[in-house]
Amino acid sequence: MASGGDSNTNKPAPRAAKVQSKDRDMGSALRTVYQKTVDEDVPADLMALLDKLKDVYDSTLLEEVPSSILDTHRKLD
């Protein structure tokens, strides 16, 4: 009686196999969508906005630098 149950212990139940298959398909779909998103170009208007923000950030940093350091840097140029 015990030998009849032993032959099925290495095979997943049909329901478990379906779940694993769906999980695998979902994982594959998510990886595909992620890769397509990573490969997309950044829109030009967003890049322009980022450039403006960078310019503001850079100018703010210069305002925070002590003038003595800026004067020394200017003398070296």
Secondary structure of 8-51 in HEC code, one letter for each residue: CCCCCCHHHHHHHHHHHHHHHHHHHHHHHHHHCCCCHHHHHHHH
Q: How high is the pLDDT of residue 17?
A: 84
For residue 66, give the DSSP letter.
-
How far apart CA 27 and CA 21 sit, in angstroms, is: 10
The whole-number average pLDDT for the span 9-26 is 81
Give the model confidence (pLDDT) of 25-47 as tens digits.
999 999 999 999 999 998 999 99
Q: How high is the pLDDT of residue 70?
A: 58
The whole-number average pLDDT for the span 65-76 is 61
The whole-number average pLDDT for the span 42-54 is 91
Q: How high is the pLDDT of residue 6?
A: 52
Query: Token digits for 14?
Result: 């049909």
Q: How high is the pLDDT of residue 19?
A: 82
Q: What is the pTM of this model?
A: 0.42
